[in-house]
Amino acid sequence: MDQNVEVSIISPVFNESENIETFVTRVFQTMQESGLSWELIIVDDGSTDGSSDALKRLSQEKSELRVLVLSKNFGQTPAIQAGFDIARGKYYVTLDSDLQNDPKDIPKVLNKLIDEKLDLVVGWRKNRKDNFFLRNFPSMIANNLIGKITGVKLNDYGCSLKAYNAAILKEVRLYGEMHRFIPAWMATKISPDKIKQIEVDHHPRLAGVSKYGIFRTFRVFIDLISVYFFMRFFSRPGHFFGLIGLILGFVGAAILIYLVSIKLFYGIDIGDRPLLLAGTLLVVVGVQFISLGVIGEILSRTYYASSKEKSYLVRWDSHDEQ
């Protein structure tokens, strides 16, 4: 990491040619007044509207601007991860380039992160300027659900304006469409007490077309299942599958014991009873889930043994001070 850069600002871009120059100008104005050393990394995620040409020109004019142009549209999460991979700062800031989040709020989230020694500060668009039924209401439901399941309670998971402690964030890899769950992913490495939120401004979109729709809400719920599993059971999958297997096996065994009892003591024919099939099926499925849990434990241990990934994170080591 280059210690000459204190703050890396990462912004993914997809077809924002009408906003990109204004966005870059506002970021430069804000950061030049901050007194911090910084860089702006913009990742063009396969734009087809001329955004990449504008960014290439701007990168030649501004030394603090670095532009990555991806070979195709990979999605927002890979674009953000690409920016993280080359960022050099001690602190990272992410925000979209559509100007709905105000670049003037960057110092606000940064100062809270640094002054309170946090690992993540999330923007809260309290007065959000979006369609209530298509954007705001589904987000309210999703935010409450994510908070209850992950234990990281925030009012606005979807706000792109966030500030991070780079040392912690580098321990987290993003895949799929998991950018909206970064606070939950970071909570797998740190205490939720190190994650806070702060109110930020939000503006209506003045140019360009939104890349989000109502169907994104359904993808959030599907992704949430994966997040819950990884947060609770990634290092111990046997507990997850084993518990399901034990419950199913117990119910199936109870049904079979009941049927055997009425056969032995009352002579009732059980051969044509649906319960016999159900009980047998539950026992078989239960054994399969338990076996899957054992296989999962083996794979988990193989993963940790063969990779640099650890099941823990050391924040401070007394040996480093010597």
Confidence of residue 215 (pLDDT cuts 50, 70, 90): low
Residue 21 has pLDDT above 90, yes or no: yes
pLDDT given for residue 2 in this prediction: 47
Lowest mean pLDDT among 41-55, 110-124, 190-204, 221-235: 221-235
**Sign of the CA dihedral running 87, 89, 93, 99:** negative
* β-bridge pairing 7-13 and 91-94: parallel
Mean pLDDT for all residues in the chain: 86
Taking only the tens place, the pLDDT of each residue in 259-280 is 999 999 988 888 888 999 999 9
Nearest to 27 by CA among 106, 94, 118: 106
Task: Count Cβ atoms below 10 Å from residue 213 Cβ, excluding itself.
Answer: 9
Asked if residues 286 and 249 have their Cβ atoms less than 8 Å apart, the reply is yes
* β-bridge pairing 162-165 and 91-94: antiparallel
Average pLDDT over residues 301-309: 70
Q: What single DSSP character describes residue 134?
A: I
- Interatomic CA distance for residues 106 and 95, integer angstroms: 9
pLDDT given for residue 311 in this prediction: 59
pLDDT given for residue 126 in this prediction: 86
Asked if residues 155 and 143 have their Cβ atoms less than 8 Å apart, the reply is yes
pLDDT given for residue 121 in this prediction: 97
Task: Count Cβ atoms below 10 Å from residue 155 Cβ, excluding itself.
Answer: 17
Q: 7-232: what CATH class?
A: alpha beta
- The pTM (predicted TM-score) of the whole model is 0.76
- Interatomic CA distance for residues 238 and 126, integer angstroms: 41
Query: Does residue 52 or residue 178 have the better pLDDT?
Result: 52
Geometric angle at alpha carbon 106, from 102 and 111, rounded to 5°: 145
Q: How far apart are the first and last CA of the chain?
A: 22
* β-bridge pairing 65-69 and 120-124: unpaired
Geometric angle at alpha carbon 28, from 24 and 30, rounded to 5°: 120
Q: What single DSSP character describes residue 12?
A: E
Contacts of 39 (CB under 8 A, 6+ apart): 5, 7, 8, 9, 64, 65, 66, 87, 88, 89
Average pLDDT over residues 215-238: 73
Q: Kindly list the domain boundaries of the chain, sorted by start residue.
A: 7-232, 237-306
Residue 212 has pLDDT above 60, yes or no: no
